[in-house]
Amino acid sequence: MTFKNSITAKVLGIKKLRHDPERPLIIFRWFGLFLSGLVALGVLMIWYFSRDLPTFSQLENYTPELATKVYSADGKLIDEFFTQRRFFTPLQDIPQTMIDAVLAIEDNDYYSHWGMAPLRFFLVTVKYVTTQNKSQGASTLTQQLARRLYLTPEKSIKRKAKEIITAVQLERAYTKEEILEMYMNQMQFGYATYGIESASRYFFNKSVKQLTLAECAMLAGAVQLPGVYNPYLNYDRTKQRRNLVLKRMLDEKLITIEEYSKAVVEEIKLKERFAETPIDDASYFNEHVRRILYTKYGYEMYESGLRIYTTLDTRAQVMANRAIRAQLPRLQARVNRDFRRPANFRYICPSSLLKEKSLDQIMQNKAFVDSLINEHCRVQVAFVAIDPRNGRILAMVGGRNYEESEFNRVTQALRQPGSSFKPVLYTAAVDNGMMPFYTKLNQPVTVENVDGQGNRWTPVNFDGTVGGETTLREALRRSLNLVSVRLIKDDVPPKTVVQYAHNLGITAPLEPVDALALGANGIKPIEMVSAFSVFANKGVLVEPFAIERIEDRYGNIIEQASPKSHGVLREETAYIMASMLQTSASRGTGAMSRSVYKFYHPAGGKTGTTN
């Protein structure tokens, strides 16, 4: 420095700076500390957000929820039980068009990022900070998968951080193809429908392999907001979204302009959602199976992908459904006629209305009468077919319409069997030495009722007749009440009849009184059918069952049916009862099956009527 400059420096009070060789080192140390702090803060944040995230080993064990499938004995899929309806489909079985559509709209640089797209994330973050707009647009396909598999759908910084961490871990654990396969099977479409194959069947009633370009684009467009882009509820909006997907595919050169032009004008042809109940519907049987499974496996049955092979014969089920559909209208019309009679209508007419108007005045309003009859007098039905040799349930109908009432009248209802209970009484008689030619007097007799109050009543025969000594075979053929009552009063005590009923598989509580002879106690229809099967199976009771075997999602058998069988009658007794029931079916109260319905195959059975 010159003398002049030195004087100037002194005048201005400027102190001469000395060269400090330690200064760069100090700056470097502070910078290092700052970077270390940032790294420590980053590690701390990662640790904080990773505390409740899945472990690496958990990420490597992807086991999606799969619906439990129920099959008939002839191999047909008859039902599914699920919280998430899903058909797991390998990536190689998904058309490239479907994959391209998803990537075009959801993550067009999927193969170039490592779980997150930093630039995309930065731009969306800036938008959020400046506008407080939480609309999503930064999530990669891997992040979406992480959110669906392990996280909640809430929109927050904490959840986004967890999403990014999990996505990066997924990219480390799986290949791009494996992640894409998981995503394609995890996509949600509403209606408990998960995965591209399940959605294809739900909306279009066909496999994903059969989808057109436009249909692929529609499904891809629905992934972001399945409730909004729902073709059943928002057809026009869904179509606009589909066309946006097609435009993205065109921009990415995944389709040609010709393909785009054709697909963009294609109408969305959806599967009919509320089709008529199919003739092979087995809803009551399926619900019976579901209850059995839930008792054994609990909630797990909805997500573990079990395969249930049942005893149902769809041919028998079709015949049962047809018979019911043919007969119900006729029976309903008969009931309607009966309840249009004033004496019967009084029982269903509100008592408050009867206080205001006379019965004649009320019945002049035909529309009101019909509505009341329709509400209170709908005929119901119960049908079950069991193979007597092995106990397999072949067909089941628990009511007129499962959508109206899920109550299964085959397995849950206690119904008076009426005269169809008489074979149990006659079984006890035959097994105790009274042969078909054993006679009883066909004359009036007073009996104790089943109400347990000691009340007594005098039954009559259905046809109002009386007679002399009558054989057991003839009495069963004509379903004579008076002979049956005398039999239980004089020869076979009620307690003995109760014991035989229980031996035949009837578990309902039965009152040991004389009226038991006429079927006055409630019994489940399935137990009545099972009891009759003993006569056809030489005295052996095989407990009815519905599930043949159960396999896990990999095809391993985890349960095989082993029906329990018990010899409950002497073979001679079973043979005699089968013979007497054949007489009843061919020449007795069941003969209408021969004359009217032209059923000429060997058969035995017993009718029953209750009031």
Looking only at the bridges linking them, the beta strands covering 469-471 and 439-441 are antiparallel
What three-state secondary structure class fits 558?
strand
| Alpha-carbon gap, residue 227 to 111, rounded angstroms | 29
What three-state secondary structure class fits 449?
coil
Instruction: Work out the average pLDDT over 225-240.
Output: 94
What three-state secondary structure class fits 24?
helix
CATH of the domain at 479: 3.40.710.10
Instruction: Work out the average pLDDT over 150-159.
Output: 65
- Percentage of the chain surpassing pLDDT 70? 83
Q: pLDDT higher for 387 or 360?
A: 387
| Alpha-carbon gap, residue 275 to 192, rounded angstroms | 19
Q: At 9, is the pLDDT very low, low, confident or very high (cuts 50, 70, 90)?
A: very low
Contact status, residue 291 vs residue 398, Cβ threshold 8 Å: no
| Alpha-carbon gap, residue 269 to 271, rounded angstroms | 7
Q: At 450, is the pLDDT very low, low, confident or very high (cuts 50, 70, 90)?
A: low
CA atoms within 13 A on the CB side of 44: 6
Across 43-47, 535-539, 570-574, least confident range: 43-47
Crossing angle for the helix pair 213-222 and 235-251, to the nearest 10 degrees: 110
Domain that holds residue 580: 418-595
| Alpha-carbon gap, residue 550 to 197, rounded angstroms | 24
Domain boundary among 182, 205, 238: 182
Q: What is the CA radius of gyration of the chain?
A: 38
The first and second tokens of residue 402, run together, are: 């499962």
The first and second tokens of residue 385, run together, are: 């077919």
Contact status, residue 440 vs residue 470, Cβ threshold 8 Å: yes
pLDDT value of residue 50: 52
Is residue 348 in some structural domain? no
Contact status, residue 443 vs residue 482, Cβ threshold 8 Å: yes
Instruction: Work out the average pLDDT over 415-444.
Output: 97
| Alpha-carbon gap, residue 7 to 192, rounded angstroms | 89
Q: pLDDT higher for 123 or 175?
A: 175
Residue 48 has pLDDT above 60, yes or no: no
Is residue 141 in some structural domain? yes
Is residue 198 in some structural domain? no
| Alpha-carbon gap, residue 422 to 408, rounded angstroms | 25
pLDDT value of residue 275: 61
pLDDT value of residue 158: 64
Tens-digit pLDDT profile for residues 270-305: 988 766 667 789 999 999 999 999 999 999 999 899
Across 148-152, 416-420, 503-507, 535-539, least confident range: 148-152
Is residue 21 in some structural domain? no
Residue whose token pair is 């909640």:
152
Is residue 378 in some structural domain? no
Instruction: Work out the average pLDDT over 342-347.
Output: 89
Crossing angle for the helix pair 141-150 and 96-106, to the nearest 10 degrees: 90
Residue 580 has pLDDT above 60, yes or no: yes
Tens-digit pLDDT profile for residues 542-570: 999 999 999 999 999 999 999 999 999 99
Q: pLDDT higher for 121 or 238?
A: 238
CATH of the domain at 117: 1.10.3810.10
Q: At 1, is the pLDDT very low, low, confident or very high (cuts 50, 70, 90)?
A: very low
Phi and psi (nearest 5°) for 258? -70, -45
pLDDT value of residue 539: 98
pLDDT value of residue 61: 65
Contact status, residue 498 vs residue 399, Cβ threshold 8 Å: no
Q: pLDDT higher for 114 or 377?
A: 377
pLDDT value of residue 56: 54
- The residues with which 393 forms a beta bridge, in sequence order, are 386
Residue 136 has pLDDT above 60, yes or no: no
Q: For the whole model, what pTM was predicted? A: 0.79
Q: At 204, is the pLDDT very low, low, confident or very high (cuts 50, 70, 90)?
A: very high
Domain boundary among 159, 182, 205: 182
Mean pLDDT of the chain: 87
What three-state secondary structure class fits 540?
strand
Number of domains in the chain: 2
Is residue 404 in some structural domain? no
Torsion 427-429-431-437 (CA) sign: negative
Q: Which amino acid is at 135?
A: S
Is residue 349 in some structural domain? no
pLDDT value of residue 568: 97
Domain boundary among 152, 182, 212: 182
Is residue 241 in some structural domain? no
pLDDT value of residue 21: 64
Tens-digit pLDDT profile for residues 500-548: 999 999 999 999 999 999 999 999 999 999 999 999 999 999 999 999 9
Across 94-103, 140-149, 183-192, 316-325, least confident range: 140-149
Contact status, residue 442 vs residue 466, Cβ threshold 8 Å: yes
CA atoms within 13 A on the CB side of 149: 28
The residues near 373 (Cβ < 8 Å, ≥ 6 apart) are: 335, 336, 339, 340, 345, 348
Tens-digit pLDDT profile for residues 15-43: 554 556 666 666 666 666 666 665 555 55
DSSP string, 147-211: HHHHS-----HHHHHHHHHHHHHHHHHS-HHHHHHHHHHH-B-STTBBSHHHHHHHHHSS-GGG-
Q: At 7, is the pLDDT very low, low, confident or very high (cuts 50, 70, 90)?
A: very low
Helices within 491-553 (DSSP H only):
494-503, 525-536
CA distances (Å), origin 589, targets 84, 388, 470, 475, 607: 51, 23, 16, 11, 6
Note the maximum CA span of the chain: 157
Torsion 349-352-355-358 (CA) sign: negative
Q: At 85, is the pLDDT very low, low, confident or very high (cuts 50, 70, 90)?
A: confident
